[in-house]
Structure 1
Amino acid sequence: MAEGIAPSHRRPKTFKARILSLFLLWRLQQPRHGYLLVRDVQSLVVTPVRSSTVYAILARLERIGYIKASYDRKSAHVRKLYRTTASGAALLQKVREKHSNSLLREFMRDLVG
Structure 2
Amino acid sequence: MEVKFAEPGVLILASLAGGPKHGYALIKDIEEIAGTTLGPGTLYGALGRLERDGLVEALPAEDRRRPYRITAAGAEVARAYLEHVRAVARVGLRRLGPAHA
TM-score under structure 2 normalisation? 0.69
More helix by share: 2
Distance 1:103 1:39, change over 3 A: same
The equivalent residue for 1:61 is 50
- Identity percentage of aligned residues: 29
1:106 CA displacement: 6.0
Q: Is the 8 A contact 1:66 1:87 kept in 2?
A: yes
What amino acid maps onto 2:48 in structure 1?
A
The equivalent residue for 2:15 is 27
RMSD of the alignment, in Å?
2.5
More strand by share: 1
The equivalent residue for 1:88 is 74
Give 3-state SS (helix, strand or coil) of 1:79's partner.
coil
Unaligned runs of at least 5 residues, structure 2: 94-101
Distance 1:42 1:101, change over 3 A: closer
1:105 CA displacement: 8.4
TM-score under structure 1 normalisation? 0.63
The equivalent residue for 1:11 is none
| 1:3-61 Cα shifts (integer Å, max 9, x gaps) | xxxxxxxxxxxx85x6221110011120000111123344521xx64211111111111
State the structure with more CA Rg: 2
Distance 1:105 1:21, change over 3 A: farther
The equivalent residue for 1:7 is none
Aligned residues: 87
Unaligned runs of at least 5 residues, structure 1: 1-14, 108-113
Give 3-state SS (helix, strand or coil) of 2:48's partner.
helix
Q: How does 1:1-113 map to 2 (within 5 A)?
A: 19-29=7-17, 30-42=19-31, 44-45=35-36, 49-73=38-62, 77-103=63-89
